[in-house]
Every structure is written in C-alpha cells, then in structure tokens.
Structure 1
Amino acid sequence: MGLAEDLTTEVATIFRAPWSVRDGTVIPAPADLRLGNNAVKLAGTVLNADMADSTGLVDTYQAAFAAEVYKAFLTCCARIIKARGGAITAYDGDRVMAVFIGSMKNTKAAKCALQINYAMNEIIRPKLKAQYPNTTYVPAHSVSVDTSELFIARIGVRNDNDLVWVGRAANYAAKLCTLRDGAYTSWITAAVYGALENDAKVGANGQPMWEARTWTARNNMSIYRSSWQWKPY
C-alpha cells in the first residue's frame, strides 16, 4: 500500500478505537502513555509566556541578536517556572508553556507571571541596553494563565512524538497572550483569580494587584490583568 492508504487506515483506527483514560496526580512524560487512544486526566493550571512582535524582531535585526533576545527571555521564564514548581511542557520559538498542579497551582502560576514581568523590566531590558547601547529595540512580552481539567494524550509516530494537552486552560492561556496592553503584561481568568491566595491578590501596601476586565472576544468572559512585578526568589 502507498502512504495515502496507510494514512486512511491509521485515521480510521484513531476515530474507531476506544479510549483508555486514567486520572493522574503527576504531570506525565511521553513514555507514560501509549501512542494509541490512551490518556491521562488531571486538574492543571496552564501558563503561557510569549514575546511580543517577534516577527518584527527577526525581520529587522540580525539573527544572532534575535537569538540572544529569545534565549534571555526563555531562560528567565524557564528558571522562574521551575523555581515556582511548574513543569515546562513545550517551547515554540519565542514562547514557553508550563503546567502547575496541586492545591497552590493558581497562586504559583500567577506569581510566576509577575516574576517574569520583573525579569523583563529589571534584568533583560537593562542588560540588553548595557550590551547594545545604540539599539532602539525594546523587548516586550505577555504571560497568561487559566485553569481547568486537562486531557493529555501522546501524539505523533514511533520515535518522533510528544504530548498534546487538551482542555480549556491550554487553549485560553494561549489566546490570552494576545491581549497585550502597555504595562499590563499578566493576564489570568476569573477561575484563576478566584483561587488565588491573598498574597497574590493584594500587595503589601494594601493595593490590589489585579484589575478586572471583560474579554469581549470570548462572550464577555471575566478576566484580570496586572502590571505588577515580583522579584524572583
């Protein structure tokens, strides 16, 4: 048989085969799941961190400069995510996705977003300007967070596969990253905000860290944004 016939058989099997699904308590690795219709369900909070206008960066500047900006941003994101107990599930160009689980998953992810904002403002931009004093480029970013039940399956082919994360949180966290608005770089859904510990809602001076907004593109869904920053520790 040719490739088209093989694909026809494989797709028919995917749609026909029953699913074997188990509840999970830890973030799975690809090896924990079979390539067939096998999945893990767990409650998770998804964080997406994304650079702004990376297309303009690669169109305007030399590749090595763009790569340094990517590396600086993603290194800070990854170190902060892991320090806050998150698991990195994907890198995609200038973006990183992470999942947090457990009773404090929403607070950890929200603090992570504010700490990434600190890293951008107080570390990445100053160090870039010190190294390249004549550049006019100013990196910007967005971090977004949502929480829901996640359905995790293994996709791809033998020796070349990964996990797919299916659920509202995975989708909405990615979409929220497009809602950039000046200094407001951190975005969370109402579900995340409602589960936050108080120290992730209100600053030491008693001021609220988050401002309620309406996501008109998602049927006027309630969301929150923040311009606050939090020094990583």
Structure 2
Amino acid sequence: MALNDDLKASVQSILGTSFKERDGQKIPTSADVSLTDGAVKLDAAFLYADLAGSGLIAKQCPWDTTAKIIRAYLDCATRIIRARGGEIRSFDGDRVMGVFIGDAKRSNAVKSALQIQWATRHVIEPEATSRFNSVKNNEVKIRQACGVDVGMSRAVRAGIRNNNDLIWIGRPPSFAAKLSDVREYPYCTFISADVYNRLSDETKYSSGTDMWEKRSKNFAGVPETCYRSSYWWEPK
C-alpha cells in the first residue's frame, strides 16, 4: 500500500474509533491503555515544570554545559515529584509532567512545585555558576516555572505500534502546561483557582501570610483566575 493510502486508511480508522472508557484507580502507564480504543478517566493534579530560557543557555554555553544544566533540572524535578507521591508521565525537551492522585493531590503537586523552585535557585544555579565559566562570565540566569491544575482528564495512547505514548486530554494538563510557560520572575509557581481553593494551610500560608497572589490569564480564549507565588520550599 502506498504511503498516502496508508495515511488515509489510518485517519479514517482513528476518527471512527469508539473509545472504551474506564475509571482509573491508579495513574496509568502506556501498557495499561489499549492503543486501539483505550481511554482512562482520571481525577488528578497535573504539574508541569519547565526550565526557562534553555535556548539562551544553549547560545551562551557549550553544548555539554547546556546538557548538564537541563539534566540537573530534570533530575531534581523528577526526584521531587516522585518523593511527593507523583508519577512522571512525560518528558518534553526541558520540561517534565508529573501526575498526582488522592485526597492530597493538590497540596502534593504544589509542594513539589515550590521545592523545584528551591532546587533551581539554591542548588542548580549556584553550582552551575561556580563550575562553568560560560555561565559565570555571561551572567547566565537559570530560571524555571511550574504550573499546576486539577480535575478530570482522559489518558489515551497515540502513535503506532512500537512508537507510541500516552497523551492527556482535558483542561487540567493543558492549563498546567500553559501556566508553566509564564515568565514573571521572581514569581515562578502558578496554580489554578481549583487548586488554590483546596490547598492545605501549609501550602497556602507562610507564618500566617498568604503565599499566593490572585491573577488572571487567558486560556482557550477566556480569562481564567489563577494564582502566582514567589516562595520556595526547601525539601527535607
């Protein structure tokens, strides 16, 4: 079959799919979801952690220095997400997505985000500055942002046999990803109103002071209430 015929047949098959949706009791992996027609419905918090300005870092630093900085960031983010009960479900360049479920999913995701900010500011940036002249001499600033949203989403598999992965359908992963793209340093953690309204006190207040500022961001053509914070949280 010619490639164009193969493409037409594949699109017709995919667009004609009737998904077999089921409620998720755990965060699914690719192996848990049928490539043909599987869909898992999940109430979860989504955290996107995104290293800011990696293109500028690559422009000013040797490739291996850039690679080490990106690896260090993703390593710290992954370790923190896992330590707070989240599961990693996507790497995309210099960005990672964590998924959290359970009663404390909002607070666990937000605590992870604040700890990723601590690691970036207090571990990665000073260590990179002390080690690499290209970072120090060019005054490279290592920054990042995290976005968190919560709600019902669906996980389905996309791609072809032996070349596929989960994709997440719904507002929460999309809005979390958009929030992680915001650059308003020193504000580096951005959360939706649905997350903020049910945070634990320890992730909402610091010594009685609200750590979050109310803002508004456009998403899918409409303004959405969100909150930003310049705080960080040292992991213990």
Q: Per the shorter chain, which TM-score range?
A: over 0.9
What whole-Å deviation, never above 9, does each CA across 1:86-105 have from its counterpart, x for those lacking one? 10111111110111111110
Alignment partners' CA distance in 2, 1:219 and 1:29: 32
**Alpha-carbon offset, residue 59 of structure 1:** 2.1
Query: Corresponding residue for 2:147?
Result: 144
1:63-82 matched pairs, under 5 angstroms:
63-82=63-82
**Taking structure 2 as the reference length, what is the TM-score of the superposition?**
0.95
Which residue does 1:209 correspond to in 2? 211
TM-superposed CA distance for 1:216, in Å, is 4.2
Equivalent position amino acid for 1:114 in 2: L
**Per the alignment, in what secondary structure is the counterpart of residue 210 of structure 2?**
coil
The alignment status of 1:196 with 2:219, answered yes or no, reads no
- The match for 1:156 is 159
Query: Which amino acid in the other structure matches residue 166 of structure 1?
Result: I
The SS at the match of 1:117 is helix
Mapping 1:123-134, distance limit 5 Å = 123-132=123-132, 134=136
1:168-187 paired onto structure 2 within 5 Å:
168-187=171-190
Percentage of identical aligned residues: 39
Q: Tell me, yes or no, if the aligned pair for 2:20 and 2:37 is still in contact at 8 Å.
A: yes
Counterpart for residue 57 of structure 2? 57
Letter of the 1:174 counterpart: A
Would you say the 8 A contact 2:214–2:226 is kept in 1? yes
Q: For residues 94 and 216 of structure 1, what CA distance do their matches in structure 2 show? A: 24
Query: Which residue type is aligned with residue 55 of structure 2?
Result: T
Alignment of 1:77-156 (within 5 A): 77-132=77-132, 134-135=136-137, 136-156=139-159
Cα distance in 2, alignment partners of residues 19 and 75 from structure 1: 35
Deviation >4 Å, runs of 4+: none
* 1:144-194 CA-partner distances (Å, limit 9, x unpaired): 101121111111111111111111011111111122112100000000001
The gaps in structure 1 that reach 5 residues or longer are none
Instruction: Give me the whole-angstrom Cα distance separating, in 2, the residues matched to 1:95 and 1:178.
Output: 10
**Structure 2 unaligned regions, length at least 5:** none
Partner-residue secondary structure (3-state), 2:9? helix
Distance, in Å, in 2 between the alignment partners of 1:75 and 1:33 is 27
Structure 2 match to 1:36: 36
Q: Does the residue aligned with 1:69 lie in a helix, a strand or coil?
A: helix
Q: Secondary structure at the match of 1:220?
A: strand
Q: How many residues align?
A: 232
Do the aligned residues in 1 keep the contact of 2:65 with 2:132 (CA within 8 Å)?
A: no
